[in-house]
Amino acid sequence: MRMQYALTGELRRCLIVDDERAMRGILRRLMTAEGFECLEAASGSEALELLATESVPLVLSDFHMPGMDGAELLRQIRERWSNTAVVMITAMSDVNLAVRCLDAGALDYLTKPFTIEEVSARVAQALEKRRLLLENQAYRDHLEERVSLQARRYEELFVASLQSLADALEVKDAYTWGHSTRVSRYAVAIARELGVTSPRLEQLELGSRLHDIGKIGVREDILNKDGALTDDEYQHVMEHPVIGWRLLSPLLHEMPHALAVVRSHHERFDGRGTPDALRGGEIPLEARITAVADSFDAMTSGRPYRDGMPVADAIEELRRCSGTQFDPQCVAAFERAMERQNFPLPDWSVRRQTHLQIVA
């Protein structure tokens, strides 16, 4: 009676490797009787050539062959086609060699001389081991995929929570509603012009969205003041980069580029900024980019005591401050991005009306 083999949905195919034609013929007849399509190779190198072009779930290989022996063939099969089951064939006196092959990844072995029943039993056992290994690997892969998906969901929820916190801060001020979203969009466009890629780009996007989150520690009467700030009030507001950095550091310790934006987006290229008086290239690139995006949106957004500046005037102001307040490369990249993408800039009065509808 023909035995059942664990090859459901796969080709019932095997490769017989032996330098003796007569032995290959014996095995071919036995395996054909078991329902296998048989391929043959007279050497290890010939076997590797066949495996490179044919899908073969099972290899029966002699150990002693001229040139490449069975141990080396097994090693290369395990390295290149790890899902292929290998059954080694040795003489009775080479049982220790067979055990070493099992340790090296063979799934079973045959000793010469062998019977039909022995071939059937060993092949069935090897293929069953292969099936279990494949199922175990599929389970691990699926589990890793589920864990990875769950981790991404937690990360998305975490980022969404942080953004909600930033939005809650902005909703207090009709004139900055949507500021962080616009700054993030401008910053990403600048970064792309400068060749910034993932994952640094994603951290920049997150950091620029959260750059003003430290204003949660700024007095609300100052944030909403109708008029220019006094020197003391301005100094109080300018504490927000450090407040935000301290707030987010425990949460974003694996995102240093995002944290750099939060802490350093008010540094100046000439070293006269805050909080660390960094100069030029000492300022993280992400913070230099966000400084341009932040200032542009601040200039084009209205305040109770002034209308937003026209885009052309805001760009001219960025140029004027290039090299002192701003990194010249970031300013130039912003101009290129504006030319390419033609960002829509809603009127500040429309922003105020939208805000009033939301908080009403």
Residues 185 and 129 in one domain: no
Q: What pLDDT is attached to residue 175?
A: 55
In a domain? residue 155: no
Average pLDDT, the chain: 84
Domain co-membership, 325 together with 200: yes
158, part of any domain: no
Q: Is residue 352 assigned to a domain?
A: yes
- Name the CA dihedral angle for 197, 199, 203, 208, rounded to a multiple of 10 degrees: 20
Q: Write out pLDDT tens, residues 141-175.
A: 788 788 778 877 777 777 777 777 777 766 655 55
Tell me whether residue 8 is in a domain. Answer: no
State the pLDDT at residue 343: 58
Q: What is the pLDDT of residues 50-106, one digit of tens each?
A: 999 988 999 999 988 998 988 899 999 999 998 899 998 887 666 677 778 788 888
Integer angstrom CA distances of residue 72 from 46, 75, 83, 295: 13, 5, 17, 66
Structural domain of residue 192, as residue ranges?
A: 171-359
Range name among 79-88, 109-118, 241-250, 272-281 with the lowest pLDDT average: 109-118
In percent, the amount of the chain with pLDDT more than 90 equals 44
Q: How confident is the model at residue 353 (pLDDT cuts 50, 70, 90)?
A: very low
Whole-number Cα distances in Å, 297 to 4, 205, 348: 72, 15, 10
SS3 111: strand
Confidence category of residue 357, pLDDT binned at 50, 70, 90: very low
**206 and 125 fall within a common domain:** no
pLDDT classification of 306: cutoffs 50, 70, 90: low
pLDDT digits (tens, 9 = 90+) for 114-139: 888 888 888 888 888 888 888 888 88
Q: Which uninterrupted H or E stretch holds 344?
A: none
| 347/229: higher pLDDT | 229
Return the higher-pLDDT residue of 45 and 90.
45
Q: How many domains does the chain have?
A: 2
Query: What is the distance between the alpha carbons of residues 154 and 264, in angstroms, rounded to a whole number?
Result: 27
**What pLDDT score was predicted for residue 93?**
67
Residue 33: pLDDT above 70? Answer: yes
For residues 134 and 225, state if they share a domain. Answer: no
210 and 294 co-located in one domain: yes
Looking up tokens 């799934």 gives 107
Give the global pTM.
0.57
Least confident of 54-58, 192-196, 259-263: 54-58
303 secondary structure, DSSP code = B
Stretch 276-290: mean pLDDT, rounded?
Answer: 97
The answer to whether residue 243 sits within a structural domain is yes
